[in-house]
A and B are shown apart, each in its own frame.
Chain A
């Protein structure tokens, strides 16, 4: 793809994407936070703000830290359009990020390029619409589907969606640089073996694991650059 001669249309696209993304995010936020109050009006009830505040202190702070990490790490991967959509529609780690990375790999798009921005947005929009449609049809068919989906035979399969996803991705990414992969994998394995309680905070452990992998990758990148110069 060549985009040198299309600088202005792309700049306009990015600017309007940020404007649209902000408007959509603010409206979605208002709808989501307002919905419990609207439903409360229908039910003749209202949220207990004190209990909600205590609940936030109990679990919300962890998710706030996680959200900050997700914003810092995933936004550069996804670009503007993809990030707005991913944060609006959720399910980042288990679906949107791998989905966008998969699409990006397929078309060989480079980070920070216009192509990456477009492909990420298309990928996450498609993924979100598929989820919305599957859930909408699923909810419509919920009564007849429930016995099938919750059957004791199929239940273990759906309990293991995340391991199945990360197993597939492990092969895809580890084979790119097995030495780079082995070190964070061994460190993480040792941590989880010595401190088993960390398994309940696996999503937070992505931060040190990712930082370690990026650090190792940088050392290798610098070494290669120095060898190229010499």
Chain B
């Protein structure tokens, strides 16, 4: 049987599917434990449900995008391995880059035609090894790191006065968003040569449309008291931003 056919065989689905199933069980166990602990702590179950519903709606669209990553990689690595990689530990922006780097080291192309069994195993190993450090750090240092951050503070009721931790988290997010929005402006301004303003403006336009849509959702939620919209605001804004990309044509 040719290698590429073997990569899409039932055995591959079984191996990869078993690992995905294990991780799904882990997620379910953590979810049930957190729910029970929240109830035991006296948390409002309606708020917990609201957080879960919002998370589910929030995650749907990006998950479809991740599915596209599976489709994109399936042309060279078969379907089961990219399915596993993007269900567990992987990241959409990471997998192709690492797979390509491994293929380059083997002196081959990342394509079905040039894929060999040894090549696939090497690519698969590198994809697993390169991104596992977050999990290792969390396993080895997570408990001590979190204990140190809380400074020995146990679960105390939140003070009415906002602390720096909350401001720092918001600031970190502002920094993260600034880096990405700044990169879209930079791509437009200097993507085709420094300050030529001939680079692609699609990411910038999509981000602008999504931001405008978010402003609309926020206005409806806060001023028109349509609180039920809040759980859909990010996903809805993304959808409108992505629609803009279709209208622009990429």
Contacts and interface: CB of A to CB of B under 8 A. Distances in A.
B178 A188 contact: yes
A103 B51 contact: yes
B91 A173 contact: no
Contacts of B138: 21, 25, 71, 75, 83-84, 87
Interface residues of B, number: 166
A164 B59 contact: no
B237 A164 contact: yes
A10 B41 contact: yes
A181 to B, nearest CB: 5
B87 interface: yes
A66 to B, nearest CB: 9
Interface residues of A, number: 168
Name the residue in B43, B51, B80, B136 with the highest tally of chain A Cβ atoms < 10 Å from its Cβ: B51
Nearest to B216: A171
Given A121-B34, A168-B211, A202 B118 contact: no
Interface string A103-132: 110110011111101110111111111111
Contact of B118 (A22, A48, A132): A48
A105 to B, nearest CB: 9
Given A52-B102, A166-B177, A196-B186, A125 B34 contact: yes
A41 B43 CA distance: 50
A191 B172 contact: no
Interface of A, secondary structure class, is: helix
A217 B242 contact: no
10 contacts: A3-B156, A31-B19, A71-B141, A75-B142, A110-B159, A122-B51, A139-B79, A167-B209, A171-B210, A209-B182
A185 B181 contact: yes
Given A191-B182, A214-B175, 20 more contacts: A4-B157, A7-B155, A32-B132, A40-B118, A42-B11, A55-B101, A76-B165, A127-B56, A130-B55, A131-B59, A132-B23, A135-B83, A168-B211, A168-B214, A180-B171, A181-B178, A189-B181, A193-B185, A196-B194, A213-B172
Contact of B30 (A55, A81, A157, A218): A81
A127 B6 contact: no
Interface string B32-48: 01110110111110011
B61 interface: yes
B220 interface: no
Nearest to A12: B37
A45 B132 CA distance: 23
Interface string B195-231: 1000000111011111111110010000000000011
Interface in B66-108: 66-68, 70-71, 74, 79-81, 83-84, 86-94, 97-98, 101-102, 104-106
A77 to B, nearest CB: 6
Contacts of B28: 125, 129
B35 A122 contact: yes
